[in-house]
Amino acid sequence: MAEPLELRIRNRPEDLSPAMEAISRWLESRGAFAGAEYLALLAVEELVTNCIKYAYDDALEHWIRVGIRLSGDELVVSIQDDGQPFDPRSLPEPDTDLPVEDRPIGGLGIHLLRNLFDALDYSRVDGHNRVVLRKRAAAEPSV
């Protein structure tokens, strides 16, 4: 299995962009499957932004750990933070009976990730939230 990319991102919005650039470069250099870069960037932007905005009720510096791994045809994105417990799976699915414009806008990012990835797992270990997202490349069309 190839070495994963491991990043530590400070809980400051301005630290997000350089991390996303590093993820792009890393995935490109490893010839990741089509779509992997978009998914990884979306996941990191949504989850790290949530974390920076909502996970901490102090003004201290915290570090959010991001891991990106390609194993075979699978992309695995993991995000770990020491903020307040938050299980993204606990958010209700949007009420699809309501017109989109009338639905509450919170949770939109998580909704996207749950639908775009094959799996979203969460665990709370030793005071840390850990979210792991997995996506397999679309199968080659069979001959």
Partner 1 sequence: MSQLQVTVQHHPAAGGGDRVTIQLAGSLDSTTVHLLESRLTPAVASRPVQVVFDLGGLNLVTSAGIRLFLLTSKQQKQQGGQVTFVHLQPQIREVFQIIGSVPGTKIFSNTAELDAYLIARQKAHGSGE
**Binding interface with partner 1 (CB under 8 A):** 13-14, 16-18, 20-21, 35, 38, 41-42, 45-46, 49, 96, 99-101, 105, 108-109, 111-112, 115-116
Q: What is the largest CA-CA distance in the chain?
A: 57
Least distance between partner 1 and beta carbon 101 (Å): 5
Q: Whole-number minimum distance, CB 20 to partner 1, in Å? A: 6
- Which of 3/101 has CB closer to partner 1? 101
Q: Smallest gap, in angstroms, from Cβ of residue 120 to partner 1?
A: 14
Handedness of CA 31, 33, 35, 38 (dihedral sign): negative
Triad 43, 83, 4: Cα angle to 5°: 45
Dihedral of alpha carbons 65, 70, 75, 76, sign: negative
Both tokens of 97, joined, read: 């009976």
Nearer to partner 1, 50 or 80 (CB): 50
